């Protein structure tokens, strides 16, 4: 069974509050008294309000290339902003998350989408139910990514596309996305290998948001200028966010 390492089934009252600092988009994740990350409404709403998130959502959409009639599944839908982004473009979108708080928040953020509580490796859908599958900052939390990929392949139709976004292990300042719930952070070639071993054909992979000497400079300049830095060899492998697109043959 594949689970998130952090805060499974906890209510937000049992968790600490988030504070500015390191972490996604400049937010440091404080832990509760059992060392787990606090995936609270404040965390989700802050993360999903950042320019980083908006860029990542657009890039994932470009990788998914959904047709108007595409059925899209987001695994690990968090606060629901990506679900809302996809639904606003006219797609039928469903989301799953293991955390009760996330399911509630995602249902509010994307009221036209069905959101269920489910494990990433035990999805409550028949075979070949979806045309597209997307995972946004989830795979680094999974104890058994290979098992999850097998399940994701099962629910995708033949020819269906999958898009993943996750932190990049080669980023020079990993403190900016440090999270006690991370199980394994991948670099590009590692992620490609595990996805291929899961039965997918890798179509593309790349990183964005380069490190520019200091974290604040990286966020202030590296995020809005990511397309320029993406073309430069010295920054190509070492961006903060790693993207991968794959197809089920």
- Output the domain CATH number for residue 53: 3.40.50.150
Task: Look at residue 94 and give its three-state secondary structure.
Answer: strand
Tell whether 1 is covered by a domain: no
Say which residue, 230 or 12, is predicted with more confidence: 230
Model confidence at 211: pLDDT above 90: no
203 in a domain, yes or no? yes
Please tell me which residue, 240 or 26, carries the higher pLDDT value.
240
Q: What is the dihedral of CA 51, 61, 124, 2, to 10 degrees?
A: -60
Domain contains 109: yes
Residue 35 lies in a domain: yes
pLDDT for res 181? 80
Per-residue pLDDT at 12 exceeds 70? no
In a domain, residue 128? The reply is yes
DSSP string, 174-211: GGGG--TT-S--B-HHHHHHHHHHTTEEEEEEEEES--
What angle (nearest 5°) sits at the alpha carbon of residue 100, between those of residues 97 and 106?
Answer: 60
Rounded to whole angstroms, the Cα distance separating 106 from 39 reads: 13
**Residue 52 included in any domain:** yes
Q: What is the mean pLDDT of the chain?
A: 80
pLDDT score, position 209: 77
- Which residue in 208, 222, 141 sits closest to 170, CA to CA? 208
Across 21-41, average pLDDT: 45
pLDDT over 60 at 210, yes or no = yes
Range of the domain at 235: 12-248
Instruction: Pick the more confident residue, 194 or 21.
Output: 194
CA separation for the pair 98, 213 (Å, rounded): 36
Would you say how long the chain is, in residues? 249
How many CB atoms are located within 10 Å of the residue 70 CB? 20
Query: Given pLDDT bands bounded at 50, 70 and 90, which one contains residue 16?
Result: very low
Q: For residue 4, tell me if it sits in a domain.
A: no
pLDDT band at 4 (very low <50, low <70, confident <90, very high): very low
Pairing of strands 241-248, 114-117: unpaired
pLDDT digits (tens, 9 = 90+) for 60-97: 999 999 999 999 999 999 999 999 999 999 999 999 99
Residue 189 is predicted with a pLDDT of 96
Within a domain: 18? yes
* Structural domain total, the chain: 1
Query: What percent of the chain clears pLDDT 90, i.e. is strictly above it?
Result: 59
């Amino acid at each position: 069974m594949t689970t998130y390492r952090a805060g499974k089934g906890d209510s937000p009252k049992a968790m600490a509050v988030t504070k500015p600092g390191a972490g996604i988009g400049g937010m440091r994740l404080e832990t509760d008294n059992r060392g787990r990350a606090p995936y609270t409404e404040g965390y989700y709403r802050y993360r999903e309000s950042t320019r980083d998130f908006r860029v990542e959502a657009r890039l994932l959409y470009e990788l998914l290339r959904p047709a108007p009639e595409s059925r899209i599944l987001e695994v690990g839908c968090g606060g629901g902003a990506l679900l809302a982004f996809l639904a606003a473009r006219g797609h039928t979108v469903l989301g799953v998350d293991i955390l009760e708080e996330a399911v509630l928040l995602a249902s509010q953020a994307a009221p036209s989408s069905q959101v269920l509580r489910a494990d990433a490796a035990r999805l409550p859908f028949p075979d070949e139910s979806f045309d597209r599958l997307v995972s946004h900052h989830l795979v680094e939390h999974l104890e058994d990514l290979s098992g999850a990929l097998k399940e994701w392949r099962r629910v995708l139709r033949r020819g269906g596309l999958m898009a993943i976004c996750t932190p990049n292990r080669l980023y020079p300042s990993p403190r900016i996305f440090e999270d006690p719930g991370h199980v394994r952070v991948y670099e590009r070639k590692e992620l490609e290998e595990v996805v291929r071993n899961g039965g997918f054909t890798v179509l593309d992979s790349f990183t964005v948001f380069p490190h520019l000497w200091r974290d604040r400079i990286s966020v202030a300049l590296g995020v809005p200028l990511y397309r320029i830095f993406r073309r430069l060899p010295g920054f190509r492998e070492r961006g903060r966010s790693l993207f991968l697109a794959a197809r089920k043959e």
